[in-house]
Structure 1
Amino acid sequence: MRCPTKSCDSFAGLAWAPYMDWGQSDLHHRLVLPWRGFWRSTWSRRELLNGHWFRFEIFLLGLLFVAVPYFASNNIAAHYLGTVWDPEMWLDREIPVINWMIIPYAALYLFYPATLVVSPRHDRGRAELVLAMQTLILATLFCSFFFLVFPAEIDLRDQLDLDSLTDLESSLFGFIHFSDNPWNAWPSLHIVHSYILARLMTHWLSREHEGKPLARAFVVLLWVEYALLCISILTTKQHYLFDLVTGLAVGMVAWRLFQPALELVASDGGGQVAEDAGWT
């Protein structure tokens, strides 16, 4: 298959190898570039309900392939495993509790629907959304390996003064503590997922709404929230400092590994990528 642009030729060996010879492409290319045939059924319904069904289906697949592995590993660690290596250091208990920061912490769960809302409704945007979902799935499975092989209990909740919480704070802490056992320490998937999604939304808004004040304001708000989220995993005693550092590292590496996929869609277009990947 011919690479359509000169700039694409410069990385043809990287991005186009899976389509030239799927059997000989290396593991990295097989994982981060379009999964051959995997998204065929979902892609065939991309125009249903004016494109809204496609987003909803991506959300459902995210629950299946992202949420299920996370909560499964979390419950396995909590009920059947013990700490293999404790990443706690003296500084973790010196960081003060800040009750209200449970709000930016819980706001992670807004990143997922926000990404779907921001995603463009053309084939390029849809292909990028699918490839981003692949990245989230792989990042989740990668982190879940450490959660199960090197489990660590996050033993910090005793520092919380639950009697001092407002009603909102109490509700949010209650929800988090009920749904998320104090395990799955490092790398922090809170940090990994939010970094990838923040970069993806920024990528779309900068391209699709360049120069628009509302888009710029949203991007600023997004990264302020991300900064608060990074701090909040420490000040709500949900994570250790080591979890934050390793989460940032994994998120940045995952985004870097995602670049060939974005470049492929940019050079060839979403429709052609879908055809080459066997989605149509």
Structure 2
Amino acid sequence: MQQQPQVQRLPRQPGGVSMRQRWLHLALNGLVFSICYPLANLLAHQQHTRRSLAFAWDETIAFAAWMVVPYITSGLIFMLMFFAVRTAEQLRVVSRRLLLATVAGCLVFAMVPARFAFERPTVHDVVPAALYGWLDLVDQPYNQFPSLHVAYCVIFWCALRPLCGGWTRAALAVWLLLVGASTVFTWQHHLLDVAGGIVLGLAATATIRPGATRAHAVAFSYLIMAALALFGAIALGSPIAAYAAASLLLVAAAYRTRRAGFLGKQAGRHPLRAWLLFWPYLAGYRLTWLLVRLRERRRPALMQMAPGLWIGRCLSNAEARRLPPDCHVIDLSAELPETARLRGNYLHIPLMDLHAPRPAQLRAVLAAIAQQHAAGRPVYVHCAMGYSRSRLIARLYLRKHPPCPSRSTN
């Protein structure tokens, strides 16, 4: 009897990504590009930039009107990239590479503005003329070095090459080469700009490595914010924005090296040095804390997880009165000062926000709770907002020290 062929179901690929995530990453990259690139163009125009990076051999490159077609498709490929990748990790990698290339390239545009050296010939063919007309509306003869078109092509290739094979990979390679070449044949860029774009694309690819996006997500976010603040400092000539950029860069370095105590918080308070170096960071957390208190004003600021174990956020003096007498406080937050009422029986073990704690840090916190419970004292464990770090510690502690059923009903 002939067996019926069985249809083999393909397993669901781990790390799947939703359409919402794809659109969010596309929107973020589009927003940053839409702000930085035109602003860099505007700055160069206002400065009446005449600097050119053309060499003698650039004069020998012929103008090819129809090369505007592959040139225009770069924007389409840019958008499709966010829907071509298959996993959440691939999406994070390509999104961050493009974001890094955009911000770094626009920083160079602002610091070293340059203009294309030659006047583009008049185009008579209808289709290319229309495309060049549209290009003139959205672009200017500035933003030369490095070529973002070329940098993006490098990033496109590194992201898409593993996802295709055979003739599709060959067709992709040919088209991306055409897009890169179109930057010079449309008289948008010089050869030095192309070389700079290749370097920028390779640098962005080498900086953002697959498998490390979750571990360095916070550090990358602060790095991008620091770069945007620096861009604003250049655009506005603002020393305050330059200070914010330097401060955010220090925060990014602290998260990259996972230095939980980088603010130097002692006895529940920040030293003057921390305020001088990290005022934007500390002020941002303070504002967030105030907004959280406002939003959750009808909810309790703390909760009892088990007999003798309370968790929550940083408390005000009024909220601190709800704790039992002689409660020992374990402060996991490096970002906010401790209220004066709770600085008596107080221990500070900083854990980085939005970061998985190190095993040694977890052991230290759990041992401190166990020590206080062994002495018969209640414990209040809190982080900044009461959302993640304190809840994690409570879960781990109760897993190792489950409450006695007879006591839990009291």
Q: Which category of TM-score, normalised to the shorter sequence, fits these structures?
A: 0.5 to 0.7
In structure 1, C-alpha distance between the alignment counterparts of 2:89 and 2:121, rounded to whole Å: 44
1:1-280 to structure 2, matched below 5 A, reads 51-83=18-50, 85-120=51-86, 125-156=87-118, 158-163=119-124, 166-203=125-162, 205-206=163-164, 215-259=165-209, 262-264=210-212
- Return the offset for 1:113: 2.5
Q: Identical aligned pairs, as a percentage?
A: 22
- Equivalent residue for 2:8? none
Q: Larger strand proportion, structure 1 or 2?
A: 2
CA contact (8 A) 2:115 2:142 kept: yes
- Which sections of structure 1, spanning at least 5 residues, go unmatched? 1-45, 207-214, 267-274
Question: What SS does the corresponding residue of 1:116 show, helix, strand or coil?
Answer: helix
Q: Larger helix proportion, structure 1 or 2?
A: 1
In structure 2, C-alpha distance between the alignment counterparts of 1:99 and 1:107, rounded to whole Å: 15
Moved over 4 A (4+): 275-278
Report the more deviating stretch, 215-224 or 56-65. Answer: 215-224
- Return the offset for 1:81: 4.7
In structure 2, C-alpha distance between the alignment counterparts of 1:80 and 1:74, rounded to whole Å: 10
Cα RMSD between the aligned structures?
A: 2.6
CA contact (8 A) 1:111 1:194 kept: no
Question: What SS does the corresponding residue of 1:107 show, helix, strand or coil?
Answer: helix
Letter in 2 for 1:78: H
- Structure 1 or 2, whichever has the larger Rg, is 2
In structure 2, C-alpha distance between the alignment counterparts of 1:175 and 1:126, rounded to whole Å: 34
What is the TM-score of this pair, normalised by structure 2? 0.46
Letter in 1 for 2:179: L
Letter in 2 for 1:155: A
CA contact (8 A) 1:74 1:183 kept: yes
- Return the offset for 1:67: 3.0
- After superposition, the C-alpha distances for 1:49-68 in whole angstroms (9 at most, x for unaligned) are x8222211211111112332
Letter in 2 for 1:186: F
- Return the offset for 1:118: 1.2
- Which sections of structure 2, spanning at least 5 residues, go unmatched? 1-14, 215-353, 358-387, 389-410
CA contact (8 A) 2:93 2:213 kept: no
Question: What SS does the corresponding residue of 1:220 show, helix, strand or coil?
Answer: helix
What is the TM-score of this pair, normalised by structure 1? 0.67
- Return the offset for 1:230: 1.7
Greater relative contact order, per chain length (Cα 8 Å cut-off, separation 6+): 1
Letter in 2 for 1:264: A
CA contact (8 A) 1:188 1:239 kept: yes
Aligned residues: 206
CA contact (8 A) 1:186 1:246 kept: yes
In structure 2, C-alpha distance between the alignment counterparts of 1:106 and 1:51, rounded to whole Å: 28
